[in-house]
A = this chain, B = another copy of it.
Amino acid sequence: MSSTYGEILKLSIFGESHGNAIGMTLDGIPAGLPVDLDELQTFLNRRAPGQHEYATPRKEKDQPEFLSGVCNGYTTGSPICAIIRNTNTRSQDYENLKDVPRPGHADYTAQIKYRGYQDPAGGGHFSGRLTAPLCIAGGLCKQWLCTKGVQIAAHISVLGGIADEPLYLDWTAPDLSMIGGNFPVCNPEAGDKMRKAIAKAKEDGDSVGGLIECIAVGVPGGLGDPMFGGMESRIAQIVYGIPAVKGLDFGSGFTGSYLRGSQNNDAFYVKDGAIKTQTNNAGGILGGITNGMPLVFQAAIKPTPSISLPQQSIRLSEMETASLHVKGRHDPCIVPRAVPVIEAAAAIAIMDAFLSNPEF
């Protein structure tokens, strides 16, 4: 486990925020996939820092170098390794974080687990920066899934308490083209309010969290396995590997648990020779297995723990309470940048399920 995921598709993510490089190896991707590097870069740019006014101004070009597994523009079938050099590093004294851990961050748990040997700079291996290699892997998987007719998109469903309009989906002919970009919402007005909420939090030296809804259309029925290999388990394992995710539900999820069975069950019907359900409270998954309806889940992203307001911590060397004032400029909200990361995670899980089900 640890920083490794997958059954047939084996993803291994490595790197520390201020180390030499971050990157990933992806073993098990079939040979012959044409790799569109421009499309991949466009996808990575959605996650990259410095893309909009409220994001962290650290300018790091998230441009991957492929070390293996791609030859003449196609996957070779051998493991793909891609890295991103860290160029903007060690500007601060991070040793202090080992002694006075930031609330809400992994500083303290890393310290007790690794006994001071962890690389503390910028959060080390726990940095949100590690989601860049996850997006490299996920971007490749998205391209592979396209060849199977699967499209994945996500939008900010709630940010700073402001809700986006529910994604309108004609379940019989879903179209995801309306969402995308660096601040993906269905309702531009809600998006404006969200931006203001971020600006206000920034002004206050604080941060905000939110929810991201992710949808995969074109997933064939029959994907996934019962119990621990079910689609929910597969997606949950990787989505919870994304720093700051603290909640996840599928279809009607938490809301559905307040309903009655007669409200939550999705009635079947036949349309153009295909079996559909009239609602999609199941989120496209029954018994862990896809039913051919869009796969829908929602992830809860906690407010960024890095805030500039003073906080109460402890000085470990003296076992005393200490006030902490985190310097530097940080994202007052990582939700917009987390959207492609959620898509990437979904793509990896769904592609692995394809490859693990020999009948596909």
Contact = CB atoms under 8 A, between A and B. Distances in A.
B228 A2 contact: yes
A143 interface: no
Contacts of A359: 30, 113
Contacts of A75: 117
Contact of A8 (B8, B236, B306): B8
Contacts of A306: 261
Contacts of A201: 260-261
A168 interface: no
A221 interface: yes
Between A74, A80, A103, A313, the greatest number of chain B beta carbons within 10 A of the residue's beta carbon is seen for A103
A253 B261 contact: no
B209 A14 contact: no
A321 B269 contact: yes
Nearest to A16: B68
B245 A232 contact: yes
Given A2-B226, A118-B77, A289-B113, A302 B12 contact: no
A67 B15 contact: yes
Interface string A241-267: 101011111111110111111111111
Interface stretch (A19-27, A37-45, A50-58, A172-180): A19-27
Contacts of A251: 246
A270 B320 CA distance: 7
Interface of A: 1-5, 7-8, 10, 12-16, 19-23, 25, 27-28, 30-32, 65-69, 71, 74-81, 83, 101, 103-106, 108-110, 112-115, 117-119, 124-126, 130, 158, 161, 201, 204, 206-211, 221-222, 225-230, 232-234, 236-241, 243, 245-254, 256-270, 273, 275, 277-278, 281-283, 285-292, 300-307, 309, 311-314, 316, 319-321, 354-356, 358-360
